[in-house]
Amino acid sequence: MITIAHRPHEEHCSPPAPVAQPLTPDAGLSALAALACTLCQTPMALISRVTPQHQQLVAQVGLGLDLGLGEYGAALPHLAWTIATLGHPGLLVVSDVSAAPTWQDDWLASGPAGIRFYAGLALHGPDGQPIGTLCVMDTQPRELDAATQAQFSALGQVLGPALAPSLPEERPSGAVESELACYRTLVESQTDLISLATPQGRLTFVNPAFAAHAGRPAEALIGTSLYEHLPAADREAVASQVAAVCAHALVLGSEVRHPTDEGAARWTSWTHHPLCDAQGRVWAVQSVGRDITERKLTERSLKDSQTRLRSLYESTPAMLHSIDAQGRLLTVSDTWLAKMGYTRSEVIGRNSADFLTPESHDYARNVVLPRYLRDGRCDLIEYQMVRKDGTLIDVLLSATMERDAQGHPLRSLAILEDVTEKHAVEAALRANQERLSLATQANGIGIWELDLVTQRLTWSEMMFQIFGLSRDQFQGRAEDWQRCVHPDDLALCVQQMARAVATGQPMNFDFRIVHGDGSVHDVNASATVFYDKDGGPLRMLGTNYDVTERKRMERELAEKHELLRVTLHSIGDAVITTDARGRVQWLNPVAERMTGWRNVEACGQALSDVFRIVDEATGQPEMCPVSRSLCEDLIDNPARLTQLISRDGTLYGIEDSAAPIRDAQGQVLGVVLVFHDVTEQRRMGHEMSFRATHDELTGLVNRSEFETRLLRALHDSQQRDSAHALMYIDLDQFKLVNDACGHAVGDQLLRQVTELLNGCVRSRDTLARLGGDEFGVILEHCDVEQAERVAQKICDQMEEFRFVHDGRRFRIGTSIGLVPLDKRWSHGDAIMQAADTSCYAAKEAGRNRVHVWFDTDLTMHTRKGEMQWATRLEQALDEDRFLLYGQRIVPIRPTGEGLRCEVLIRLQDHDGSIIPPGAFLPAAERFQLASRIDRWVVRQVFALLASGDPALDAVHTLAVNLSGQSISDPAFQRYLLELIDSQPVDLGKLCFEITETAAITKLAEAGSFIQGMRRLGMRLALDDFGSGSSSFGYLKALQVDYLKIDGQFIKDVVHDPLDRAAVRCFCDVARVMGLKTVGEFVEDDPILQELLELGVDYAQGYLIHRPEPLGRLLGLTE
């Protein structure tokens, strides 16, 4: 026995390290501890005595080996359990220590012993005070039934007084015998087989149950061998177990089979407990036998069931699984695995809820599980499970629960039916039924079924609405339906139904009924007959729907159709209808007459074969209006003039119109084509149009139409740059014939001339009589050279033509004015005036000839305006109204030179406005005023230089322009020399600019002038360089200092590679000849940068400087 010091009422905790004193277990108390194990069927029991200072372990069974007290010494881990037992009223039972938060971390539960079950009882002394505890333990969870708890409590009541005071030496003599007497008293009432035997196996005590099992009185069994009461086959094994119990103080057990006379067998479970004396020697062995025959039978049955179940799980086509009380999968069938896509190792041990969808899991936990725990079964529960690949299957689950003896759940067996496909079919069927219901309801279709054997008739809800009856008015008999049929149509209905039954052909016909409200309705009936395997008619399934409105519309449509037919046959227009593919469906009589096709022949033909139309003017086939209407889905009312070619070749001028025919949904069903004969109207229209546009005498185009066509040709030449020409023809000597022979003869002459002229021009050209003896010709797509040849041909033929009347021969000539039609003409009047002027020029030149209009003629027309400028310039010179402006010329690469500028001229008008030189210098050149203007400019510049103003010190060069007239005018040169002599100035500041054109035109005079100026110290520049036709050959003869490159090359030098190449070439020539270059018209930075790269020396233009008054530029004025 071990004594352990402890603190009373200490809370449960990890065991302290107490000081232990070994004690020898008490033999009598050991027997009672063994009895406790026997009562509760546990392998371990403890009896302890407690005092305020100590707890003593006075007896134990099974703990020595299982707890290993020899190894752990005085460590007594049940200390806290003892305290809890003393403080608990009555029996303390912990069915599963691992599930009890108070004990699950205790060393006794989590340590080597692995205790899972505990039952303890406080022992009380004679005075009612607690003096110890009795407890039993097991390594498996378990329950104590009420009977066992009562027996255990009774043992505690007997055991309490038997405990001696605190110390062993205080125990009274005879205590062991008293304890054994208590033991015997308790075991007498036990149904288990209980015996005490010596270590050699001789019985010293048996209880009545043992004696009854052995079949002999208890007294007769004392002294006999325990083993002789066991089957011979088990004696040796049991003897070996008892020897081991005695040698090692172990608790051992075995199961023994007892054959019976009836051939069956009884099974007994034996447990052998060692009983030790005060010295720890085993003085007896308690053997407890319990009849386990029923358990064995149950186990065998269970094993057989498990075998059958395993075979079932492997072979059944059903989805099966079993789960434990915690919901973990124990077994699953092969079909279950195949359906779910798992292997068995992947699912066993997992919670069955893992395979449910979240919705099914919630439903199972909240709804199904409470009812299942209550009833122990569930049937056809709908779940959705998730397969391994993530897809869902629908299942119906039925399950039963297996419980233990106490009613607690042990396991469940479930069978699942995969109803995924069934649900899909049901869903499709429901959808079809819903669609059918919607369709029948929406379309007013009633469904009926007639049993041909019983003549019972079943109606859908819509049938009652169609017939206007309530359910009370229809009993499901065939005669109920017959009463609703219109009397005049009953025979038809019976006949149609009989024919369908006899032939098996579907039935479909219309009949009339008398509605419930007394009105007559039209109804359509369709049905199919179904037969049995022998061919006998079983039932007829069909539909009805009200077609009253359809019948009414059909009648109205028939009436309208007849009215339309009569109308279309009566109207004067031709009508053709086609289908949506453009094939003829019908022609009215007028269309038959005009096309030459009869209705029966044309039906089904392509419309293009029946209705052939061409352009009236060109004869080219035209697109059929029906084809256009079908393609573009619109009403076609063509404005073109077309002709219909009849089948026999007759031509009809027609006006047609086509329009699509649509149904209620807007779909095109076909086209209706309407046309009528306008041949006569068109002939009359053409005649009136011809009279309005042609000369009655000659049949030629008149002046009004001619001018219209002239404007059209002029517009074409301006828009497309086409070459056309106008001839204005006037007959020579016509007045002589007309006066001498009379107007009638004159008219005859005009008709003959018309024929001659027609023979000289093309059919595409326009020949017109403009009035009297004047004719006009528009030669289309004909240049001036070709037109001149045509005009000359007319003159040649008229030269040979002789008009003869009354033996008199007249020579008639023509004077022709020829004008090219091009962009120079802005309107027709100007062209006609030019042609008329050219014609008169031809007459003045000798008649019967051609005069071609040239730009010089245009100059003559503009001379009047230029003469006005001449007058204004003369006046401006007299009034000194010219102004000097200046524009800077700068080096592209800075050189530090002084101011360079070009001197420019402006004219101040009477109103104070400033007129640029481009407006008046051309007139000055033309009327020989340019030299006078040059004199004015030179005089002003010399006066400025002679002023001696200090601001002039900054001037490097003043460039003055001279006209071609000045450089070839000796008087100007003399004036210039006189000016130099009279006003001494720094001639090095002067540079005269001469245009390249003027220099080339008057090369000798220019060369002489340049040499003379250079000798005087002035510099020369060649302006507009590059504009001439030979810019390089004359440079050797002209000793100039600067080349001013024409602006037409500068303005596009950035984007035009040809201009860039030209400028580069000019710079190369200037560089070879030692000349400086100036780029004009420099408008932006990219141009300036390009000139820099090309090597140009100076730049001039609006980017550099806009012209301003010269005095302000030189700093002489503000």
User: Is residue 171's pLDDT more than 60?
Assistant: no
pLDDT at residue 637 in the model: 59
Encoded amino acid at 190, one letter: Q
**What's the rounded mean pLDDT across residues 1074-1090?**
94
Spatial CA neighbour of 1080 closest among 1088, 1070, 1072: 1088
Question: pLDDT grade, residue 1028 (50/70/90)?
Answer: low
Reading phi first (left if > 0) and then psi (alpha if -120 to 50, else beta), residue 557 is in alpha
Task: Please check whether residue 754 is in contact with residue 700, taking contact to mean a CB–CB distance below 8 angstroms.
Answer: yes
Encoded amino acid at 844, one letter: E
The domain made up of 296-418 has a fold known as: Beta-Lactamase (3.30.450)
Buried b (16+ CB within 10 A) or exposed e, 14-43: ebeebebeebebbbbbbbbbbbbbbbbbbb
Indicate the helix (H) or strand (E) that contains 978: helix 970-982
CA 966, chain centre distance (Å): 81
Reading phi first (left if > 0) and then psi (alpha if -120 to 50, else beta), residue 687 is in alpha
* Rounded-to-integer distance, Cα 614 and Cα 641, Å: 9
pLDDT at residue 488 in the model: 93
CATH superfamily label, 571-683? PAS domain (3.30.450.20)
Question: pLDDT grade, residue 864 (50/70/90)?
Answer: very low
Fill in the DSSP letter of residue 228.
G
Average pLDDT, the chain: 83
Question: pLDDT grade, residue 657 (50/70/90)?
Answer: confident
Task: Please check whether residue 576 is in contact with residue 607, taking contact to mean a CB–CB distance below 8 angstroms.
Answer: yes
Reading phi first (left if > 0) and then psi (alpha if -120 to 50, else beta), residue 27 is in alpha
What share of the chain has pLDDT > 90, as a percent? 33
pLDDT at residue 277 in the model: 66
Spatial CA neighbour of 242 closest among 226, 223, 229, 256: 226
**What's the rounded mean pLDDT across residues 945-971?**
90
Q: What tens digit of pLDDT does each residue of 501-519 get?
A: 999 899 999 999 999 899 9
User: Is residue 343's pLDDT more than 70?
Assistant: yes
1-189 — its CATH code? 3.30.450.40
Provide the residue ranges of all domains of the chain, joining segments of one domain with +: 1-189, 190-291, 296-418, 425-551, 571-683, 695-853, 863-1114
Pairing state between β 1076-1079 and 1042-1045 = parallel
Buried b (16+ CB within 10 A) or exposed e, 1014-1053: eeeebbbbbbbbbbbeebeebbeebebbbbbbbbebbbeb
* Rounded-to-integer distance, Cα 852 and Cα 838, Å: 7
Q: What tens digit of pLDDT does each residue of 363-391 get?
A: 999 999 999 999 999 999 999 999 999 99
User: Is residue 660's pLDDT more than 90?
Assistant: no
Question: pLDDT grade, residue 809 (50/70/90)?
Answer: confident
Q: What predicted TM-score, i.e. pTM, was given to this entire model?
A: 0.33
The domain made up of 190-291 has a fold known as: Beta-Lactamase (3.30.450)
* E-only strand ranges, 455-573: 457-459, 507-514, 520-531, 537-546
Which is more confident, 425 or 392?
Answer: 392
Q: What tens digit of pLDDT does each residue of 792-806 get?
A: 999 999 988 999 988
CATH architecture entry for 425-551 = 2-Layer Sandwich (3.30)
CATH class as words, domain 695-853 = alpha beta
Spatial CA neighbour of 1105 closest among 1094, 1118, 1114, 1095: 1114
User: Is residue 867's pLDDT more than 70?
Assistant: no
Which of helix, strand or coil describes residue 652? strand
The domain made up of 863-1114 has a fold known as: TIM Barrel (3.20.20)
375-384, 769-778, 916-925: least confidently modelled range:
916-925
* Rounded-to-integer distance, Cα 604 and Cα 599, Å: 10
Q: Do domains 571-683 and 695-853 have the same CATH topology?
A: no
Q: What is the DSSP string of 461-478?
A: HHHHHHHT--GGG--SBH
pLDDT at residue 1038 in the model: 83
Question: pLDDT grade, residue 72 (50/70/90)?
Answer: very low
Task: Please check whether residue 62 is in contact with residue 317, taking contact to mean a CB–CB distance below 8 angstroms.
Answer: no
* Rounded-to-integer distance, Cα 590 and Cα 598, Å: 10
Task: Please check whether residue 1025 is in contact with residue 1066, taking contact to mean a CB–CB distance below 8 angstroms.
Answer: yes
160-169, 660-669, 1087-1096: least confidently modelled range:
160-169
Kindly report the backbone phi and psi dihedral angles of residue 542, in degrees, each rounded to the nearest multiple of 5, phi listed first.
-155, 180
User: Is residue 166's pLDDT more than 60?
Assistant: no
Which is more confident, 41 or 309?
Answer: 41
2-6, 289-293, 480-484: least confidently modelled range:
2-6
pLDDT at residue 571 in the model: 78
**Per this entry, what is the length of the chain?**
1118
Question: pLDDT grade, residue 13 (50/70/90)?
Answer: very low
